[in-house]
Amino acid sequence: NVRLVFIVCLLAARPPWPASGRAVRRKPRLLRHVTEDAGLRKEALDALIRAARRGSGRLSLRSPLRPPVSLALRDPDWEVRNKAINLLVEVTPRFGQQLSEGMAEVLPGLVACLADIKVANRRATTQCLHTYMKTMGSANTEPVLGAIIRYGLDAADPEIQRNVCVSVPVLLTPDLAGGNFSQLVAALAKCLTSKDEAMANAALHALEAIRSTLGDQLFNGYLQQLNPPLRRYYFS
């Protein structure tokens, strides 16, 4: 039956729904591939990025997407981490304030990527966190700054601490100056006391960047809140 075979082939070659709808329909399977199948992980993340770019509205940071993305951010393969960061870069500007709950879960992994061995990953992560803080507004920077401190500046690994210090001047643009930088200044002042010279320099540079973003008056107010030994360190 030649005609039937022809119709079947035609249907197989051209699925009846548009491509973005297809990715959303395939989403549960793609997420399973990210979580369970190292061989299909990159391909699945690429398909999710494409779906996010096409703006298929159902691809948000709701719970099914979070655990696979958190896992992929910690993958030993830098390309997998890169795709997970880029997926977040795609979904971040689209979801505005609804995003906060979803972001909270991926922030620890994302902050660790500020210290990724690959420059491209560090840059994309900085961009993603910056976009997120801008989306949330300067009054709501606390969750991100808190994560940067907890998983970055206070991390046990000096390599992470130093790289996160380096990213601070890029993250804190003047439009975010309305935030509360009290804790961040205190955490950076602690890094300033490090015996590791590269770290102390990075912390000093970050503090100077915050000073020039906030202006002397606001910045000095934060310095006044530091305990005296830390404050002396900054001025020495």
Rule CB under 6 A: which residues touch ligand NAG? 180, 182-183
Q: Name the residue whose CB lies closest to ligand NAG.
A: 180
Question: Which residue has tokens 């935030």?
Answer: 179
**C-alpha–C-alpha distance, residues 199 and 163, integer Å:** 8
CB of 142 to ligand NAG, least distance (A): 8
182 or 212: whose CB is closer to ligand NAG?
182
CB of 18 to ligand NAG, least distance (A): 48
| CA 124 from centroid of its chain's CA atoms | 8
* Integer angstrom CA distances of residue 201 from 55, 70, 165, 222: 42, 31, 9, 20
CB of 219 to ligand NAG, least distance (A): 13
91 or 145: whose CB is closer to ligand NAG?
145
Compute the CA torsion angle 224, 229, 235, 236 (nearest 10 deg). 180
132 or 222: whose CB is closer to ligand NAG?
222
Q: State the DSSP code for 94.
A: H
CB of 182 to ligand NAG, least distance (A): 4
21 or 146: whose CB is closer to ligand NAG?
146
